[in-house]
Amino acid sequence: MRPGVSISLLASAAFALAALGAAGSALADPPTGASHGASSTPAGAARPDEVVVDLAERVPPRWLDGFADDWPLTPERWRRRMPRECRTRGGYRAHCQGARLVPTPTGPAAALARRLGLGQRATALHLMNHRPFPEWIDAVADEDAEERLTFPVATGHLGRGFGRTRTGSMSHRRHWGVDIGAEEGAPIVAARGGLVVYSDNALTGYGNVVMILHREGFTTFYAHCRRTLVFAGQRVQRGQPIAEVGQTGFAPAPHLHFEWRQRGWARDPAPQFLPRDR
């Protein structure tokens, strides 16, 4: 082999080895801030397990204590009918809410509830008094767009209406929803598709309750249920069974107490109901 050709081949081989070495070094040493198995979560985005809404930082401390509210909710004549162990001067004891029959949260829906601070007494109290947090509204941005409501108990009938409809010793208290009479155990369906934000019995006087958040900050509230069939973090469709009519909490007879709120403000739901098929 001629000397010139030999030198040229050796130079080519050396160049190739140098290129391979540089490539291997790039694979072995990722750029600064990167690591093997690094998350693909964009910068600034929340991780799937990260708590986004911490209620301890956003609501009054008294809403987090878990104690029943100490104020009378029923006329004196109703309290006289209550079992002796339930009577108190301020209202009634916690165990007179009725049997707590609610499902146990599991799976991705339960994880979503933890991230967004759903399913707590404070969750429901906030939505009954204030507009939803922005993170909650974002979570239902793509839900049911129809604002009209499906009547929640197909076999039920409207009873007491909205507003100043009480009499006697309770005449000073507004009725923030409508009562729908029905047989105990009758199915209650979601009046509109949305996200379940509460399903429990820690709200004084209401018994077992389901609360659903809807698009644009509307909420629907279903109280005195015998049992609930959904839990916080679940998404439900319009017309899906969510509970059963009952008599838990302060309820003199089986019925559904139904409320419709717009960013915390109670509204009369009756004009919103879609025509019923009979």
pLDDT in tens, 175-233: 678 999 999 999 999 999 999 999 999 888 889 999 999 999 999 999 999 999 999 99
Residue 4: C-alpha distances to residues 1, 9, 15 (Å): 9, 9, 17
Share of the chain above pLDDT 70, in %: 65
Assigned domain for 50 exists: no
Higher-pLDDT residue of 49 and 212 is 212
Instruction: Report residue 168's pLDDT band, with 50, 70 and 90 as the boundaries.
Output: low
Higher-pLDDT residue of 174 and 27 is 174
- The least confident of 141-145, 216-220, 243-247, 264-268 is 264-268
Higher-pLDDT residue of 169 and 271 is 271
Half-sphere exposure of 173 (CA within 13 A, CB side): 11
What pLDDT score does 91 carry? 56
Number of domains the chain contains = 1
What pLDDT score does 233 carry? 98
Beta strand 187-189 pairing with 227-228:
unpaired
Assigned domain for 23 exists: no
Per the prediction, the chain carries an average pLDDT of 79
Half-sphere exposure of 6 (CA within 13 A, CB side): 3
Assigned domain for 30 exists: no
Higher-pLDDT residue of 220 and 99 is 220
State if pTM tops 0.95.
no
What pLDDT score does 10 carry? 43
Higher-pLDDT residue of 48 and 15 is 48
- Largest Cα span, the chain: 118
Assigned domain for 156 exists: yes
Assigned domain for 28 exists: no
Name the region of 217 (left: φ>0; alpha: ψ -120 to 50; beta: rest). left
Go through the chain and tell me how many residues it has: 278
- Separation of alpha carbons 232 and 241, rounded Å: 15
Look up residue 152 and give its two tokens.
Answer: 């929640």
Rounded mean pLDDT, 84-102: 68
CATH number for the domain spanning 187: value is 2.70.70.10
What pLDDT score does 212 carry? 98
Assigned domain for 2 exists: no
Query: What range does the domain containing 247 cover?
Result: 55-272
pLDDT in tens, 230-250: 999 999 999 999 999 999 988
Instruction: Report residue 169's pLDDT band, with 50, 70 and 90 as the boundaries.
Output: very low
Q: Which residues, other chains included, contact 33 with Cβ-Cβ below 8 Å and sequence gap of 6+?
A: none
